[in-house]
Amino acid sequence: MRSTKTETMTLWVCFNCANLLANAEYPDDFTMGVDSVPLSAIDFAAGDEITLGMMWEDHTSNCVALTSDGEEQCNCETIDFSTHPCDACNDPYAGDRLAATLWYTPEP
Ligand SMILES: [Zn+2]
Ligand SMILES: [Zn+2]
């Protein structure tokens, strides 16, 4: 039986991980062996996908983009300064985090 991606999970990722997702390349200042390898903390199963941004239902209820029908930019998808490790590579450095969505197939 073919499975389909039905579940999503919001991840908060660091700049390195976001860059790899957006451009499919490491940022210029990325140092292999020093920085955490982007997306290395995610246990991908076959067919899983990760995309930048989050689902509309995960935006806050008073989100300006939602209430203005997309006319205005909201900042639901960024956290200016987080001390929580990156969800995608476990990078412990505090800094900006961007929302990403993991699309996965739940275990039967
Ligand atoms: Zn929003
Ligand atoms: Zn990261």
State pLDDT tens for residues 45-93.
888 999 999 998 899 999 999 999 889 999 999 999 999 999 999 999 8
For ion ligand 2, residues whose CB falls within 5 Å: 13-14, 17, 86, 88-89, 91
Q: Using DSSP, state whether 98 is helix, strand or coil.
A: strand
Q: How far, in Å, CA of 32 to CA of 25, rounded?
A: 13
In a domain, 1, yes or no: no
> Which position has the token pair 């200016």?
80
The mean pLDDT value of the chain amounts to 90
- pTM confidence score: 0.86
Taking the centre of ligand 1 as the mean of its atom positions, its distance from the CA of residue 27, in whole angstroms, is: 26
Tell me how many domains the chain contains: 1
Q: Measured in angstroms, how far is the CA atom of residue 74 from the centroid of ligand 1?
A: 5
Could you tell me if residue 2 is inside a domain?
no
Chain position carrying tokens 């993991």: 102
Q: Is residue 49 part of a domain?
A: yes
Q: 33: domain range?
A: 7-104
| 45: in domain | yes
For 3-51, write each residue's pLDDT tens digit.
Answer: 566 799 999 999 999 999 999 998 888 888 888 999 999 988 888 999 9
- pLDDT the model gives residue 27: 84
